[in-house]
Amino acid sequence: MFALLGTILIATSCKKDEPVIVDPIDESGPSATALTNFINNNIEDRTQHFTVNANATILVTGANGTTLSLGANMLEDASGNPVTGNVDISLIEIDTKADMVLLDKSTNGLKANGDHSTLISAGEFFVTVTQGGDEMVLLEPMKLKSPVREYDDEMRKFVDVGEEDLLWGIAEDSLLELIDTMIDGRVIFTVEYGILPGEWGWTNIDKFYNDPRPKTMIYAELPDGFDNTNTEVYISYNGESNALANFDVWEDGRFTEHYGLIPIGLEVNFVAVAIIDGVLNYVIQPTTIVDNHVEEITGFTSISEDELTTLINDLP
């Protein structure tokens, strides 16, 4: 039986039921700097910190139930020296559409042919281990276990392929281990995979979204002054709890996904976020995808972070 060796130090953001005011920026209208600061602050707020002894068996548990485990003396520094004493573990758990928007971590996947495609996610995880600010090196895989609402045998381990802010590619060791436990008369599913040496950062439990309907290109047009530097635009797929695609191309003054892989007839919600004059603003527009779809996104409205979180997580 592992022993819990760390104290969770979770930074919590101060969210109020009023529009979010970010640090003053010397520009009016939608601000690229303010949006970047807003996203980075959310990432910092959601990062959980654990202090553990590298010379003892490590087991830590995140706020959403993710566990990380590693054997004793399984870390070394960049020079190959064994690590002694305390190390710091950083963990982020993302398992809702709202988290994906507020931390700008959508589920865009890279297919074998180079196309981008939406993923259905069962959780995104950021993990690093450092000492004195320096990243440590694993001598064996660190085990990550995550509870899932229901088991899907098409789910695989994905890793950050590093081509963009966050683009997922299927891992070489992609198969997941399923653990089912009976608790209070019902089955609790947990999946497990290893974070390999060299895989600090983002890993994910995913599968590619699959829809047999004909596909189309899709575009999103924004009001004057809004562009890919100061606005984030996403598509939330109806009926999929954690499928959120991000528009990753700005072309001819509008957003596009440029691969022509959105199913015609798919019911979706466009979600756009910007910081306007220092205040969090949003648009959520429901629609059904048509051939050569062009969505005109208008009507940005101020909102609190709590209110936006509820609206996004309540999407169909």
Rounded CA-CA distance 176/205 in Å is 9
Instruction: Return the pLDDT at 59.
Output: 98
On whether the CB atoms of residues 173 and 193 are closer than 8 A, the answer is yes
CA 107 to CA 96: how far, in whole Å? 11
pLDDT-based confidence at residue 115 (cuts at 50, 70, 90): confident
Which of helix, strand or coil describes residue 301? strand
Q: What's the pLDDT score for residue 293?
A: 97
Q: What is the pLDDT of residues 254-304, one digit of tens each?
A: 999 878 889 999 999 999 999 999 999 999 999 999 999 999 999 999 999
- The CA distance from 312 to 61, in Å, is 26
DSSP state of 316: -
| Contact residues for 98 (Cβ-Cβ < 8 A; gap 6+) | 308, 309, 310, 312, 313
Q: What is the DSSP letter of 96?
A: S
Predicted confidence at residue 165, as pLDDT, reads 66
Q: Which residue has the higher pLDDT, 113 or 2?
A: 113
Mean of all residue pLDDT scores within the chain: 89
Number of H-type helices and E-type strands within the chain? 3, 27
Mean pLDDT of 175-204: 89
User: What's the start-to-end Cα distance of the chain, in Å?
Assistant: 41
Q: Which range is least confidently modeled, 18-22, 67-71, 97-101, 296-300?
A: 18-22
C-beta neighbour count of 27 within 10 angstroms: 13
pLDDT of residue 14: 35
**Count of CB atoms situated within 10 Å of the CB of 22:** 16
Residue 11's pLDDT is what? Answer: 34
State the Cα angle at 142 between 173 and 241, rounded to 5°: 65
pLDDT (0 to 100) of residue 27: 57
Tokens 């436990």 map to which residue?
181
Domains of the chain with bracketed CATH: 33-208 (2.60.220), 215-313 (2.60.40)
User: Does the pLDDT at position 253 exceed 70?
Assistant: yes
DSSP result, 268-290? EEEEEEEEETTEEEEEEEEEE--
Name the nearest CA neighbour of 62 among 10, 113, 102.
10
Which pLDDT belongs to residue 208?
A: 94
